[in-house]
Chain A
Amino acid sequence: MSVKKKPSLRGAIATKQSKKEIASGALRPRNDEVSDIIFQRPDSLRDVENHYCAGCGHGIIHRLICEVIDELGIRERTIAVAPVGCAVIAYDYWDFDVTEAAHGRTPAVATGIKRVRPENIVFTYQGDGDLAAIGTSEIIHTANRGENITVIFVNNGVYGMTGGQMAPTTLAGQKTSTTLEGRSLKREGYPIKILEMMAVLPGAKYLERVSVHSAQEVMRAKRAIKKAFKMQMDGKGFSIVEVLSMCPTYWGMTSVQAADRIKNEVATFYPLGVIKSC
């Protein structure tokens, strides 16, 4: 893509030719016509320095949520509940109302907010330690009550914030700072498939597992997140999107290796796709 002006911080500027044509590479933009912005920071995403490690999936997922919120026009109605974990300061990135929650209590806090403000759009953002270990009780019962909230569940298989310890979702054989020789199924038990567990709950209406390891999967992830928010807007009940995400730092890999690991290993254990939709 060639541009006449230097791209602003908010995004790249392209010619008046259709975004689709440009994206497909079918047409070369003409340099003399500059107007349409085809890629920019969503309004809901603050213009701040990124604190996440190189190759981390959180930045992509933060952005996808913001794109969806912008597209649905719900920024001024949204209240988010941030977790304890690497995304603990998610409110530094998001330009809408956010509260913190104690580790794992995230869905309970969201329940309190949604019940008194049913007109608002309430979502939680939780990691695998927050949701699948310390907060298992809260997530299961929140889903079972059929609370009309949306949960974005980021599964990267480790506790990133505290130094790469084993998570409930850590794969068998995976080395972490608390499973130095790899997770032993005999000693540490099995990785938990939370969505498959939740699928049996009548209160859980929409469960989908996506990933952000490739451009194609990022687009799928966005569609799932958008659907989950729409479910809430339509009053259809509890929705959760599990996002398989890279943690190159604590997987001991390069960013590319980490993305490949999701494709070749993680997504084979945690299959992508809609687990339940009703």
Chain B
Amino acid sequence: MTRKVLMCGNEACGEGAIMAGCRFYAGYPITPQNELTSYLAKRMNETGGVFIQAESELAAINMVFGAAAAGFRAMTSSSSPGISLKQEGISYLVGCELPCVIVNMQRGGPGLGNIAPSQADYFQAVKGGGHGDYKMIVLAPASAHDLLEYTFLAFDLADKYRNPTFILGDGLLGQMMEPVNLNLSIKSHHYDKPWALTGCKGRKPNIIRSLLLGDNVLENHNKKLQEKYRVMKDMEVRSESFHARDSEIILVAFGSMARIAKLSMELARKRGLKVGLVRPITLWPFPDKAIQEAVEKTKKFLVVEMNAGQMVEDVRLAVNGRAEVDFYGRMGGGIPSEIEILNKIEALV
């Protein structure tokens, strides 16, 4: 059954959080994610949740830290410059193994940049923008409906692994209005949180900490975290492929760029060109296998991004020299059109 409503991506993201049982949100105004903040101000009030407009991004992520430590599903969101400010908090959340969801509706950078859509925060999200060795599952939606569904899923993934989950969107996805199906095919699960701070009635006190002094204690903690990331890598890879087994050129793109690249693929195929597409949905863990399966059948990859070439490095690692990997991208809010990509494809054939 479908129950379709028209909403922008930012609102869909907020509704996904509400549907997942998120009852704590703290954020700070920044374009292009303000619709999400406004939407949750309204919806948290309606659902008996907590909405706080924080004094800064730093405060917002640390309020989320507190709510997560207390065992509640909590979320914060921002856009690129604000996400830079949240990096300290993200590192602490990971170190303390606290589940929460963090959303980045990316805009052009570096610096204050502009408010146009961008994918230039790929490295920051995927490689770890905060200090220390850590990983988060990074989901890359490509539509308003994806924002609803992936945000809903993100809370389960966060609780399952006791780790923040990151949604890497962009200003285009956040602000574009599309029909969204509110009936999801996936279910939300309950995870016990015996580690949460509730007051120590009837049990020994719980301590949430990332400060681990003493010989090898922090090293062992890191080994435990790395083991967790290894399990995530085995279990949580998500991607979709189109014509990946019968194409001479495989496009690789994520998020909004994947939608545009899909149009380019369709245009190219109409012109008789054998073009396919791999769309990573989890940017970490990266879908190496989807790329490697495509390597068997193709000679060339064309990675398309709204940045100077970031995910292309992960594609090259997966391809490992077995095929040619080309790149086309635009920066600072520039969005490659389907025709630009088609021209690039034709030049490569």
User: Could you list which residues of chain A lie within 8 angstroms of chain B, going by C-beta atoms?
Assistant: 75-79, 81, 88-89, 91, 94-102, 105, 108-117, 120-121, 137-138, 140-141
**10 pairs of A and B residues whose beta carbons are closest in the complex:** A112-B66, A108-B62, A99-B208, A76-B201, A105-B62, A141-B55, A112-B63, A109-B66, A112-B67, A113-B66
Docked Cα-Cα span, A96 to B201, in Å, equals: 9
CB distance from A170 to the nearest CB of B (A): 24
Indicate with 1 or 0, residue by residue over B54-98, a CB within 8 angstroms of chain A CB atoms. Answer: 111011101111111111101000000000000011001000100
Docked Cα-Cα span, A233 to B177, in Å, equals: 46
Q: Does B229 contact A (CB under 8 A)?
A: no
A97 touches B205 (CB 8 A): yes
B208 touches A138 (CB 8 A): no
Residues of A within 8 A of B26 (CB): 112
Show 9 residue pairs from A and B whose CB-CB distance is below 8 angstroms, ordered by the A residue: A96-B200, A98-B207, A101-B65, A105-B58, A111-B63, A113-B70, A116-B70, A116-B72, A138-B55
Residues of A within 8 A of B272 (CB): none
B54 touches A108 (CB 8 A): yes
CB distance from B70 to the nearest CB of A (A): 5
B199 touches A112 (CB 8 A): no
Residues of B within 8 A of A113 (CB): 66-67, 69-70, 197
Residues of A within 8 A of B70 (CB): 79, 112-113, 116-117, 120
Residues of A within 8 A of B60 (CB): 108
Given A99-B69, A137-B55, A138-B55; 4 other pairs, CB 8 A cutoff: A96-B199, A96-B200, A108-B58, A111-B59
B205 touches A108 (CB 8 A): no
Q: Which residue on chain B has the smallest CB distance to residue A81?
A: B66
Assess A76 versus B55: contact at CB under 8 Å? Given A112-B69, A113-B67: no
A115 touches B67 (CB 8 A): yes
A117 touches B55 (CB 8 A): no
Residues of B within 8 A of A79 (CB): 70, 197-199
B69 touches A109 (CB 8 A): yes
Q: Which residue on chain B has the smallest CB distance to residue A114?
A: B66
User: Could you list which residues of chain B lie within 8 angstroms of chain A, going by C-beta atoms?
Assistant: 23-24, 26, 50, 52, 54-56, 58-60, 62-72, 74, 88-89, 92, 96, 197-202, 205-211, 213
B67 touches A100 (CB 8 A): no
A100 touches B211 (CB 8 A): yes
Residues of B within 8 A of A78 (CB): 199-200
Q: Which residue on chain B has the smallest CB distance to residue A145?
A: B52
Contacting residue for A105 out of B52, B67, B89, CB 8 A: B89
Docked Cα-Cα span, A136 to B82, in Å, equals: 19
CB distance from A148 to the nearest CB of B (A): 13
Docked Cα-Cα span, A112 to B72, in Å, equals: 10
Residues of A within 8 A of B69 (CB): 99, 109, 112-113
Residues of A within 8 A of B201 (CB): 76-77
CB distance from B154 to the nearest CB of A (A): 18
Residues of B within 8 A of A94 (CB): 205
Docked Cα-Cα span, A137 to B58, in Å, equals: 10
A102 touches B207 (CB 8 A): no
Residues of B within 8 A of A88 (CB): 211
Residues of B within 8 A of A91 (CB): 205, 207, 209
B24 touches A112 (CB 8 A): yes
Docked Cα-Cα span, A121 to B210, in Å, equals: 23
Residues of B within 8 A of A114 (CB): 66
Residues of B within 8 A of A95 (CB): 200, 205
Residues of B within 8 A of A117 (CB): 70, 197-199
Assess A105 versus B50: contact at CB under 8 Å? Given A89-B211, A99-B197, A113-B70: no
A102 touches B66 (CB 8 A): no
Assess A97 versus B65: contact at CB under 8 Å? Given A113-B70, A120-B199: no
B63 touches A108 (CB 8 A): yes
Assess A97 versus B67: contact at CB under 8 Å? Given A102-B88, A102-B92: no
Residues of A within 8 A of B62 (CB): 101-102, 105, 108-109, 112, 138
Docked Cα-Cα span, A101 to B70, in Å, equals: 13
Contacting residue for B209 out of A100, A108, A110, CB 8 A: A100
Docked Cα-Cα span, A95 to B26, in Å, equals: 30
Assess A120 versus B198: contact at CB under 8 Å? Given A100-B96, A109-B63, A111-B52: yes
Assess A138 versus B59: contact at CB under 8 Å? Given A76-B201, A116-B24, A116-B67: yes
B198 touches A109 (CB 8 A): no
